[in-house]
Structure 1
C-alpha cells in the first residue's frame, strides 16, 4: 500500500507540475474574441479518438494516445508500419521483413515468432485482432486513422494489450464518387502503383470502396555468394474491398475483405565474424549468403463484418466479426556466410475467428456505461527447422570469441564419416479459445471531474501439441547432435491442455482546468495469458514434455496533461510500471525456451505537440524518455541479467515532422516536408553484449513537390535517409547461438518521384 500511495502521489505531483509549462494566459485567451480564421483553424485541429471504444475529443481522454489521421499519413507518405515510429512518442517498429517484425512500446518488445506465446501488444485492423507476428505487418493504404494507445489496455481491448494497442481504421465506403491513382519510381528499381475508388450504388443505402497496391523494389544489399542476387528487397501485392449497407438511419453494416501477398528476396543476415571473399565484416557492405532457395513467401487474407445498430436514442450496439488466415514461410542462411554451415526454415499457418459484441448506453453527456463480451479462437501450426553442417562443428569455424580460427570441414571424425547436413525440425500446434466479458463506466461531475473505471474477466483454454523429427540429408548418421538441436520424437505428437483466467481492471480520474486543458491520473493492470510450451530431450528419443509458463502481470501508473490551444494540441504523460513473471525467451538457450524472467520495471515520460504553426505550416513533434529493464532475471544457466536494459529499448527517442503547402499561383501550390528522427543507444539482446548494440543515430527524410490548387494532381521528389546514415535493425539472430551473430541493416538512402491524380 505504501508503494502504491507513493507512486500515485508522485504522479499527481508530476501532473500538477506539468501545468507550469503552460502559459497562464490560456484562461484569458479562452474568453477573448478570436478571428473567424482562427476559429476555423481551431475546429480543424479538433482530434477525435476512440481509445475508450467511443468517440471522444483527444483532450478529453484520460489515456495517452497518438492519432495519425489519413491526411497526416498522406502528407508524410507513410506506407508501411515501420514509418509509424517517426511520429509516435515511445513507439518503435522494427520491420526487418514482412514475416518478422518487432513492435516496441515503452521499452517492451513484441517480436516472438513462437506459435504458442501470446502477444504483448494488440494490433487491431478495423476492430479485428491482427497481433501474431507472421501476419502483423500490412500495407497502409486508404487509411482513415491510426491510433497508438500506450500502456495496458486489456480492460477495453482484451487479449494481448499488455503494453498497448495499435489500432488501424481503414476508410469505409461513402456516398460520393471518388478515385485516386498513385505511381512511384525510385532507387533500386523501385516501382509502386496504387489506386483507390469509391462508388455509391444506391444513395445513402449502398456503397462500395476498393484499394489496391503493387510494390516492388530490388534488394539494397548485394549478395556476393550468389552473383546477380540481392537481399532486403520488396515484392508486395495488397488489395481491399468493402461494401457498406445502410437500410435505415439506425443500421450501418460494413463488409471488408483484405488480401496481401509477399514474395520478397531473402533478408540480409550478414556475419560480423566471417568476411566474404574480397569483402569485410561490416554490416553495411556486401553480404555473402550461399543458400540458393532463401526467401519469403507469405499470404494473408481476412474478412471483417462490422455492424452498428442504434437500438434507441441513448443505446448503441456494435458487433464485429472477423476471420483471418495466414500462410507464411521463410528460408534463411543462419550463419550469414558463403559457407554451407547453418540454415533455418519456418513455416507458419494460422486460422482465427472472432466475435465481439458491445453495448453503449449514454443517457446524458455526463454518463456512459459500456459493456460487452468477446470470443476468440485460433489454430496455429508452426514448423521451425535448423540444419547444421557437422563437418564444421567437428572441424573448425570462427566465432565471435575466436575470429581467427581457421575454417576446416572435417569429412571424418576418428575414422567415422561426418554428415554435411543434420536437419532437425519441431512442429508445434496451438489451439486456443479465449472468452471475455467487460464493463466500463464514465461519470462526469460538475462538468469538470470525470471518473472512468472498468473491469474485464478473461478465460483461456490453451492446448499445445508438439513433435520433433531429425534426419541426415546425406544419409550419414550425426555425431555431434545424434538427436538434433531440438530433440527428436520421431514425429510422434504429444499434447497438453491448461486453462488460464484473470481479471484486468483500470481506473482514471481527470479534471478539466478549462474546457481545453485536462489533467488526469490513472492506474491499470495488464495480463499476458499463460503459455503451454513444449520441450524435447536432446539426450534420448522421446515425446515432448511441457513447460507451463505463468501469466505475466504489469501494474501501470500514469499521470498526464492534455491541452488544446488554437490550432495546436499538446500532451505530456508520466508513467511507471512494474512487471512480475515477465515472459521472455531464454537468451542462454539455442532454441529459446519461453520462461518467466522474474521482475522488471520501467518509468519515463512522453510529450507531443502538433498542429498548424503558421498558415500552411504544420508540425508534429514528439519526445520520449524511457528507463526500462530487468530487476530480477537469471537465465537457465544461472547467469544474472538483473539490471540489464530491455532489447530494442532506447533511453531517448525524438522526432520532428514539418509540412508546408502554399500557393505559387492561383492554380498551383508548392509542397514541402521534412522529418527528423533520433533514437539513442539500444541493445539487441537481453544479455546486453557491447558488440550487439548500436549507438544513437538520426535519420532525415525530405520531399518537395507541386500540386494543383484544387487537389486534382500532384508530383513530389523525395529522399529518405538523406544523409545515408548507417544503422541496424537487428544483430544476433540464429547465428548468435553458435558464436556467429549476424546483422540486418536498415534502409540506405532511397530517392524517388511520386505522382498522384484524383478524380
Structure 2
C-alpha cells in the first residue's frame, strides 16, 4: 500500500530529464538543421532545471514555451518530438547540476533503466529489465554504448571517465538497424562537447563528503576559418564510504585523470574533419562488499581473525585482509570526415560521412574473493582489449518516393568492426587456507551437503601457518583469447506519405566471426591433486580454435500519425541481436557455448506538446520477446552460463511542464516493468535448497527489474537583480526488485523513496554559478546487490547503495 500511495503522487509525472529554456519554440527544425553531417555541438538540448528567468522589466510573451530538444537517435538531427522511438535526453548542464560523476548517477532520472557501476571492470546495465552481468568477460553487454559515433564493444566502457558532455541520449528497445549488434535492450548514445564558433570555456570545481574532489573543464573554439580545437580535462578523487576495519583503509578510494583533445579541420568549404584523442586512467581500492547473514559456524571461524567481525550490511563497514585494487586505463583515437555534397540530381542536402576509430582498454585487478579477514581466496585478473572500427554512410532527402507522397529522408551505409581480447585470471588460495579446510563451510562445499558437519572441527588460525608451507602456491588459472570480426550493411528511410502519415522502414544485415582459445589449468606443487580445483570443483581443460560464424537480419518499421505539429502517435516493431560465444570462466571446459540473443519489440506511443508548448508529455507501451537470453548463474565461486527466454512488457513516460507560475517548472518520469522468464529450467536455486541446487524459473520475475520507477523534480527560479537563484528538489522512487538471478529472499530489495535537493546562485549572464546540494537526504540505507558468498554457504556478499552525501560546486563560463 505504501508503494501504491507513492505512485498515486508520481503517476502523472514523467521525465525527459532536460532543462527547459523560456524561448520561443520553433516549428519542426528546418531541413538544413536535420542534416546528418551538421555539427553536433550547437544543438540546444535542454536540462532538467530551468534557465535564468526573463528579467522583470521585460514581461514574458505568453506564446513562449519550452525549447526544442534535438537528438541524433536516428543518425541525423531531429526534434525528439518527431522520433518514433522511446528516448530520453540528458544535457551536460543537468549532469553537472546533479553532480553526476558517471552514467549510474544520470540513469536514476531515466524510466526503466538501471546501471550498477560499482565494479568499474564489470558494470551491469539494464533497460526494460534486460541486460548482462559482465562479471563473466565473455559476455558482451545487451545495452550498446556509443560515444561521438564510435561503438565500443566492451561493457567496461560504460564506467570510463564522463566529462565535458554535451548530452546523453538513452534509446530504449532494440536498435539493431542503425547501431548494430549488442543493442537488444537499448543504447546509450553519448555526445561530448566540440569546438564552438567563438572561443569559449568552462571550469567546474566541486567538493563533497569523504574527501571528494572533482575538477572538470573545457576550452577552445575556431581559431580561424579552417581550424579549431577544444581541450577538456578531468581530475577527480575521493575516499568513498566503505571502511575496511581490518586493513584500516577506505575500500572505495578512487583517483581518476582524463583528457580529451578535439580538432576541427575545414580543408574545403564543403568538408569537415573532426579528430578526437582521448585518454583515461583510473585507480581504485577494491572491492565494495560486506558480509551479510553470517551463520554460527562461519562467525566462530572468522572471529579468530577479527574479533569485531559483524554482518550488518547497512553500516558501510567491511573486514577483509587483501588490499585489493583495480587499475584501468583506455586510449581512443578517431576521425570523422563529413563531405557536404549538396544537391545531387533529385537528392537534396547529400552527405557522405566516414568515421574511423581505434581504442585500447586494459584492466588489472586483485580481489579478496572470500571478503573476510582470513586469507583464503584471491582473484587476480588482467584484461587487454583493442578494437578498430570504420563506418561509411550516405544520407540525404528527396521531394518524394519516385513521385509518390511527400519528402523522404534516408541514410544508408556499411560498418566494419574488429577486436582482440585477452584474459588471464587466476583464483589462488591464501595463507590461511589450511585452517579453513577443517571447517563446516569447507566440508559443505567439498561434499555438496549442507549438513556435512555439525560444527567446525577446528577454528585455529595457527593451522594455516603450519600448513601454508606444505600447500605452497596453489591456484587455478583461466586463459582466454578472442578475435572478432564483424561487418554490416544497413539502410533506413522516413517517408512522409502525406501531411499526417509517415512511414519509417529499415534493415541491417550483419555477419560476425569469432575465433576463441580457452583453457583452464591448475597450478600447485602437488599437481595433479591441487587444493584450489578441489574447492571449486574444477579440472584442467584446453579448447583451442573454437569458432563461431553468425549472420543476422535486423529489420525495423515505424508508422506515425501526425495529428498536428504538436501531437503525433506511432507504432513500431524492431529486432535486435547480440552474438553468442564461449564461457571464459568455465571450471570444467564443458558446455562452453552459448547462443546469440535475439529480441523483437512492439511499441506504441505518443509525443505531445500542449498549452502553447509549455508542457511536453511522452509515453510509450511496449512488449519485448527475447529468445536465448544469455544468463549467468552463480554457484559460490563458479559461474555457469547458458540461455533462457523471457518477455518484458510495460510503460514509460516523461514530461516537462513550464507552469503558469513562470518561475516554477516541473519535470518527472514514470516506468512500469513486468519482466518474467518464459523458459529457464535449470536456473540456480537459493542456497537454502542445497549447494548447486537448481530450479525452474518459468513465469518468475527477472532480477534487476524494479516493478516501478518514478521521479519528480520541481525547479523554482528567482530573479535577484543581477543574480539568479534556483532551487531544485528530486523525489526518486525505486520499486521492489531482486538483485540475484536465484531470487533468494535475502537478495530482495523492497521499494523505497529517496530525496535530493540543490540550491544555486549565479549571475544572470551565466558567467558563474555556486551550487550546494545533497543526495539521499533521508540517508536511506538499502542494498544495491546481494549475492551468495564464495566459501561460506548460507552467507552473502552485500553491496550497499550510497548514503547521504553533500557537495558544493563553483562553475565558471567564459
**TM-score, normalised by the number of residues in structure 2:** 0.83
- Aligned counterpart in structure 2 of residue 72 of structure 1, from 91, 94, 114: 94
Q: Does the 8 Å contact 2:759/2:772 carry over to 1?
A: yes
Further displaced range: 253-262 or 386-395: 386-395
1:225 aligned onto 2:246: yes
Task: Determine which of 161, 168, 172 is the counterpart of 2:190.
Answer: 168
Q: 1:418 to 1:642 in 2, by over 3 A?
A: farther
Paired residue secondary structure (2:790): helix
Q: After the TM superposition, which residues 425-574 of structure 1 pair with which residues of structure 2 at under 5 Å, given as runs?
A: 425-472=477-524, 478-479=530-531, 481=533, 485-489=537-541, 494-533=544-583, 538=588, 544=589, 547-565=592-610, 566-574=613-621
Unaligned runs of 5+ in 1: 1-17, 19-29, 539-543
Mean Cα displacement is larger for which, 266-275 or 217-226?
A: 266-275
Secondary structure of 1:237's aligned partner? strand
Aligned residues of 2:574 and 2:602 also touching (Cα < 8 A): yes
1:552 & 1:189 partners in 2: Cα distance? 43
Q: Is the 8 A contact 1:121 1:131 kept in 2?
A: no
Q: d(CA) in 2 for partners of 1:137 and 1:195?
A: 19
Matches within 5 A, 1:326-725: 326-364=361-399, 366-388=407-429, 390-391=433-434, 394-397=437-440, 405-406=455-456, 408=459, 411=463, 419=471, 422-472=474-524, 478-479=530-531, 481=533, 485-489=537-541, 494-533=544-583, 538=588, 544=589, 547-565=592-610, 566-588=613-635, 590-597=637-644, 599-613=645-659, 614-635=661-682, 639-665=695-721, 667-725=722-780
CA, structure 1 residues 197+486, in 2 after alignment: closer, same or farther (shift >3 Å)?
farther
- State whether residues 45 and 569 of structure 1, in contact with CA within 8 Å, keep that contact through their aligned partners in structure 2: no
Q: Name the structure 2 match of 1:235.
A: 255
Shift of 1:739: 4.3
Who is 1:27 aligned against? none
Match for residue 257 of structure 1 among 243, 262, 277: 277
C-alpha change, 1:177 and 1:733, in structure 2 (3 Å) is farther
Call closer, same or farther: CA 1:176–1:693 in 2, change over 3 Å.
Answer: same
User: How do 1:191-210 residues align onto structure 2 when only pairs under 5 Å count?
Assistant: 191-202=213-224, 204-210=225-231
Q: Structure 1 residues 263, 387: CA separation in 2 closer, same or farther (over 3 Å shift)?
A: same
What do the CA deviations read for 1:236-292 (whole angstroms, capped 9, x no partner)?
A: 112111011123342211111111111111122211144663252111225344333
Deviation at 1:151, TM superposition (A): 0.4
- Give distance in 2, aligned partners of 1:631 and 1:737: 32
Q: Give 3-state SS (helix, strand or coil) of 1:247's partner.
A: strand
Q: Return the offset for 1:208.
A: 0.6
Do structure 1's residue 98 and structure 2's residue 120 form an aligned pair?
yes
Matches within 5 A, 1:114-193: 114-193=136-215
State the 1:177 CA deviation: 1.2
List alignment gaps of at least 5 residues for structure 2: 1-13, 15-25, 28-57, 300-305, 400-405, 684-692
Kept after mapping to 2: 8 A contact 1:45/1:568: no
* 1:733 CA drift (Å): 6.1
1:498 shift after superposition: 1.7
Give the match for residue 60 of structure 1: 82
CA deviations over 1:707-745 (Å, ceiling 9, x no partner) = 112211221111121111112222116638854421111
Aligned equivalents of 1:89 and 1:279: distance in 2? 39
Name the CA distance, whole Å, in 1 between partners of 2:500 and 2:291: 59
Aligned 8 A contact 1:522 1:557 in 2: yes
For residues 376 and 149 of structure 1, the distance between their equivalents in structure 2, rounded to whole angstroms, comes to 22
Instruction: State the alpha-carbon separation in 2 of the partners of residues 581 and 500 from structure 1.
Output: 14
> How many Å apart are 1:311 and its aligned residue?
1.7
Distance 1:93 1:247 in 2: 41
Greater alpha carbon shift after TM alignment, 618-627 vs 338-347 = 338-347
User: Are 2:653 and 2:671, in contact at CA under 8 Å, matched by a contact in 1?
Assistant: yes
Measure how far apart 1:424 and its partner are.
1.1
Following superposition, the deviation at residue 61 of structure 1 comes to 1.2
Q: 1:226 to 1:476 in 2, by over 3 A?
A: farther
Q: Cα deviation per residue 1:293-345 (whole Å; 9 max; x = unaligned)? A: 30111101111212221122321112221111101122111222111122222
Q: Is the 8 A contact 1:600 1:632 kept in 2?
A: yes
On the 8 A contact 2:500/2:562 being kept in 1, the answer is yes
Task: Quote the Cα distance in structure 1 between the aligned partners of 2:158 and 2:256.
Answer: 15
Mapped partners of 1:546, 1:201: distance in 2: 59
Contact 1:113/1:133 (CA < 8 Å) preserved in 2? Answer: no
Deviation of residue 485 (structure 1)?
A: 4.8
Distance 1:279 1:658 in 2: 44
d(CA) in 1 for partners of 2:367, 2:576: 35
- Cα shift readout 1:340-375 (whole Å, capped 9, x = no counterpart): 122222221110010111111202372022211100
SS of residue in 1 equivalent to 2:311: coil
- The farther-off stretch of 175-184 and 386-395 is 386-395
Task: Report the CA distance between 1:155 and its aligned residue.
Answer: 0.6
Q: 1:369 to 1:559 in 2, by over 3 A?
A: same
**1:508–1:743 CA distance, 2 compared to 1 (3 A):** same
Task: Name the SS for the 1:625 alignment partner.
Answer: strand
Measured in 2, the distance between the counterparts of 1:533 and 1:476 equals: 23
Q: Superposition RMSD on alpha carbons, in Å?
A: 2.9
What does the per-residue CA deviation read over 1:432-457, in whole Å, with 9 as the maximum and x for residues that have no partner? 00100011121112211011111111
Cα shift at 1:232: 2.0
Q: Deviations along 1:532-587, whole A, 9 cap, x unmatched? A: 3368675xxxxx56633222211111100100221322111000111221111134
2:354 aligns to what? Answer: 319
Provide TM-score, normalisation by structure 1. 0.88
SS in 2 for 1:331: strand
Residue equivalent to 1:8: none
Output one character per residue of 1:97-133: Cα deviation in whole Å (capped at 9) or x when no partner: 3223111100112331333333211010001112412
Distance 1:83 1:36, change over 3 A: same
User: What are the Cα deviations for residues 18-45 of structure 1, in whole angstroms up to 9, with x where unaligned?
Assistant: 9xxxxxxxxxxx99xxx99457743x52
How many residue pairs align between the two structures? 715
Residues 520, 559 of structure 1: 8 Å contact kept? yes
Distance 2:121 2:532 in 1: 32
- Distance (whole Å) between structure 1 residues aligned to residue 496 and residue 86 of structure 2: 19
* Comparing 98-107 and 75-84, the one that deviates more: 75-84
Deviates more, 1:145-154 or 1:75-84: 75-84
